[in-house]
Amino acid sequence: MRAAAADSVMKFDGILDETTSFENLVSLAQPIEANSPEIVAADLSKIQRANSTGIVTWLRFVKQCPFPLKYVNSPKWLVSQFNMINGFFVNGSYVESFQVPFFCPEDESYFVFTMLVGIDIPILDSYTNFIVPNRMLNEKIYEVDIEPELYFSFISQNAKIFREKI
């Protein structure tokens, strides 16, 4: 995994796996910490994939991170982790935006839209019967291609945290 930090943004790309170094993540955070930021954006959208060892390393970093993180452009694999691990949002972290897959039945094409928590997707205690509006792109209608109750459960399960932050 490669990483770059500037001002209040940390960007990552590559693969989050056993080769990801906890020490490298900590050293990346140090120059940002010097500016005493209130919050730092973590953009993992260019991470191609992750395995459990890489995720554990990431979580250990978040636990010890000297500043809170807000996840931006969170890709689908990361949303899956948000939903799988209870208590993912420690140390003041939360999600600002995340990717949602859509599908166009007309030509079976697939597109990922980035949505803002609290704006595109309201913060609710339950997403049962919640309907995500269709989206238009290049004159084609795209329908949401996830089960809202499952995919947005990280929001409903952390609604209190997210309401305080957003």
Partner 1 sequence: MKKSLILTHFFEPEWAIVNKINTIAKSSSITPIHCPTTEILEETLSKIQSDSRVLFFSDEGLISYVQSLCKNNYEFHFEIALFIDTKIESVANSVSEIEQVKYLIGKDQNESFGRDLAILIKKFKNSDILDLEKYLSFGADVHRTKIYNSKQKHDSVAEIFDFISGWGDPGYSHPYDDYARKVSEVTDELILNAIFNANPRLKSADRSLEFILSEAECVDVAWGFDGEVFGVSVKDYFGKFNRETVMQYISAQRHFDDVTGNSSAGLGLKLILERTHNLITNVEVERTTEVLALVRFDARNRKFEKRKKSVYYFSVNTKKIS
| Residues 102, 142: Cα–Cα separation, whole Å | 6
* 130 makes contact with partner 1 (CB under 8 A): no
- Using the Cα atoms of residue 101, residue 164, residue 161 and residue 54 in order, give the sign of their dihedral: positive
* 133 makes contact with partner 1 (CB under 8 A): no
Binding mask of the shown chain, residues 13 to 52, with x at each position contacting partner 1 by CB under 8 A: ----xxxxx--------------------------xxxxx
CB 95 → partner 1: shortest distance, Å? Answer: 15
Name residues whose C-beta falls within 8 Å of residue 83's C-beta, 6 or more positions apart in sequence: 150, 151, 153, 154
* 139 makes contact with partner 1 (CB under 8 A): no
DSSP 110-147: EEEEEEEBTTTB---S--TT--PPPEEETTEEEEE-S-
CB 152 → partner 1: shortest distance, Å? Answer: 13
Binding mask of the shown chain, residues 89 to 118, with x at each position contacting partner 1 by CB under 8 A: -x----------x-x----xxxx-------
The strands making up 140-144's β-sheet, listed across from edge to edge, are 109-116, 97-104, 140-144, 135-137
| Residues 128, 125: Cα–Cα separation, whole Å | 9
CB 42 → partner 1: shortest distance, Å? Answer: 16
| Residues 42, 31: Cα–Cα separation, whole Å | 15
User: CB under 8 A: which stretch of 4-12, 34-42, 86-94, 155-163 binds partner 1?
Assistant: 86-94
* 141 makes contact with partner 1 (CB under 8 A): no
Q: Binding residues for partner 1, per CB under 8 A?
A: 17-21, 48-53, 55-56, 59-60, 63, 76-77, 80, 84-88, 90, 101, 103, 108-111, 145-147, 150
